[in-house]
Structure 1
Amino acid sequence: MQQPVLTFTEGGIYCPAGGFYIDPWKPADRAVITHAHSDHARWGSRHYLCTRDSVPLLQLRLGKEISVQGAGWGETVKIGGAELSFHPAGHMIGSAQVKVTVGGQTWVASGDYKTENDGISGAFEPLRCHTFITESTFGLPIYRWRPQTAIFNDIEAWMRENEAAGKQSILVAYSLGKAQRLLYNLAHTGKRFFVHGAIYNAHEVLLGAGWPLPPVELITPDTPKNDMKNHLIISPPSASDSAWMKKFAPYSLGVCSGWMQVRGNTRRMNADAGFAISDHADWTGLLQTIRATGAEKVFATHGFTSVLARYLEENDIPAEVVRTAYGGEEETTETNA
């Protein structure tokens, strides 16, 4: 019987033929990284392999001194007895699915992904494979995203309402990924963008790497409050309800997260508005992707795994739940998705 291409271990998803781990949650000799969020890219491994676009982001997160190699989209990298390649996941800048082939069997580890092209993160690429490892962050039928254009229209209308009411507009968004998506898609408004230091640091790295993002202004203790009036502040979730944010009063707080799809979450987050804009696939996107892979077996990880796996089984797609250490990015789960 042929050995599985990938196995699930206490240290992460492991490739026996290649001797590497995909997004290991314990230090490994060789770590293949899907994207630079901290629950997938952890410090301590001896050598890292990721997409070229992810290299500066891994260095930002893990330190300039790490040993890291970047590969191009679709470029085949041979490691031991395995062939590996990266393909767009659409989750954030540099995010990838990892395709691994051993002895004619192909497995794909999706990492985190979304199927709507946001304009900056790359268009998701469905991959044919024998076995597919899928995330299931929003693996419930209630999660069905409206088109991105409609949500950004809502955000712009909210900003105009705040301006008319004499309130400062503040959007809460994860500092790496979501914040850049907002900036890219709101650049046409002509507004100035004022940001927290966590967002500024990531933004500067991406600008230095040549990404077409609008300029931002770092908020410091010396930034005049009047300069920000009628413009937009973007804050990471960690600064919500903090002394840093309270100094902008009067303000209206909008939270950008897929969790805002559920009525009541906006109020629970002490926000004035909730925008259900997610960097993960919704229920429809998950099912469409799984069918497009043609996979003979699906493993569901991090999220509503049991619901998704049961649905797949009921529809004649063999599926299994796998527990991982993913899904715990350093900023609260209510706002980083």
Structure 2
Amino acid sequence: MSLLELTPAGLYCSKADLYIDPWRPVNKAVITHAHADHSRWGMKHYLAHHLSKEVMKLRLGEDISIETVDYGKHFLENGVKISLHPAGHIPGSAMVRLEYKGEIAVISGDYKTENDALSTPFEPVKCHEFVSECTFGLPIYKWEPQEKIFEAMNFWWSINAEKEFNSVVFAYSLGKAQRILANLDYSIGAVYAHGAIWNTNQALLKSGLEIPDIPKVTQEIPKSAFQGALIIAPPSAMGTPWMKKFSPYRTAICSGWMNVRGARRRRAADAGFVLSDHADWEGLITAIKASEAEKVYLTHGSTAVFGRYLEEVEKIQAVALETLFEGENSNLEDN
């Protein structure tokens, strides 16, 4: 890599003397987004998009040193021109563009190419080297338009409500939960949030994101208030005593992994909705080709299969990098 090197602490740009999404404490870290595998505790100074600021403070501590920058605004570090560009992954997610003496590298973090009407839509950035995830880098992964997914989810909720079941939907606290909130049919019933999701919502609202400000599930709310309601909870709440207050209920999991036959059954959920904040197979190919990169570095996911496709079919040089990024966790651990 001409502008980057992989070090024990993470991806490092020596010319600018900064790291992108490092996994060990460093002096200067540019953060692509606030998910835990990309935004970690212990950095002396953070830089991120402004929509990531309050969530990072919630997760990493109010006293972190953090500077924010808007999409497309350039700044210089030791002669390296740096800017953030929309990744479309979750609110505040960004690709990091580095330019030095005509050489351009882009680190994508995580991304999706479908406009979810919540996150700033993905914008391809032309470069010589592109660092890409490939969480769902297999041809079996092909997402349906989110309108169809939410039509099915709202119908599932309405049927449950008619049968006097409460509906509990499991989704990541940051990104996916807010995407669901933005697409629910609120005429069906009340909507509540687990505390972890409510706290994330408050941080995003404080940052200026426009999302429904739904109530938090508390002990003071009578059980009768949940009748016919939809409750959004992180995957970590699955099967815990916290769920008892919603009985009788039906459960659903929202994940790209629900695309795989049998995944829902293994998780003992009543329904599974194929909803991912990562690009599918076609989305990955589209994004990489749009970058016009001569060389692509694959950081996490199906690196072997996807890299072989890029080289043999698209004639793009691909190199797999061993990183600590996780993408969409197949064990459904919240990030």
TM-score by length of 2: 0.96
Give 1:190 shift: 6.0
Question: Aligned match of 2:286 in 288, 304, 311?
Answer: 288
Q: Partner residue of 2:65?
A: 67
CA contact (8 A) 1:257 1:336 kept: no
Q: Partner residue of 2:316?
A: 317
Question: Aligned match of 1:124 in 110, 122, 125?
Answer: 122
Gaps of 5+ in 2: none
- The SS at the match of 1:274 is strand
Distance 1:172 1:278 in 2: 13
Give 1:207 shift: 1.7
Query: What is the total number of aligned residue pairs between the two structures?
Result: 334
Distance 1:333 1:48 in 2: 29
Give 1:103 shift: 1.4
Q: Deviations over 1:64-122 (max 9, x none)?
A: 11111001110001111311100000111100000001111000000000111111111
- Tell me the percent identity: 48
Gaps of 5+ in 1: none
CA contact (8 A) 1:115 1:123 kept: yes
Give 1:214 shift: 1.0
Q: Partner residue of 1:149?
A: 147
**How does 1:1-337 map onto structure 2 within 5 Å?**
4-186=2-184, 189=187, 191-315=189-313, 316-327=315-326, 333-334=331-332
CA contact (8 A) 1:257 1:335 kept: no
- The SS at the match of 2:308 is helix
Output the amino acid matched with 1:255. I
Q: Deviations over 1:246-265 (max 9, x none)?
A: 33111110100000000100
Give 1:321 shift: 0.6
Q: Deviations over 1:119-148 (max 9, x none)?
A: 111100011000100000100000000000
- The SS at the match of 1:319 is strand
Output the amino acid matched with 1:89. A
TM-score by length of 1: 0.96
CA contact (8 A) 1:13 1:22 kept: yes
Q: Deviations over 1:20-66 (max 9, x none)?
A: 00000000110000000011000101100111221111111111111
- The SS at the match of 1:185 is coil
Distance 1:152 1:230 in 2: 18
Q: Deviations over 1:241-297 (max 9, x none)?
A: 111013311111010000000010001111000000000000000001111110000
Give 1:217 shift: 1.1
CA contact (8 A) 1:34 1:40 kept: yes
Output the amino acid matched with 2:36. S
Give 1:333 shift: 3.6
CA contact (8 A) 1:113 1:280 kept: yes
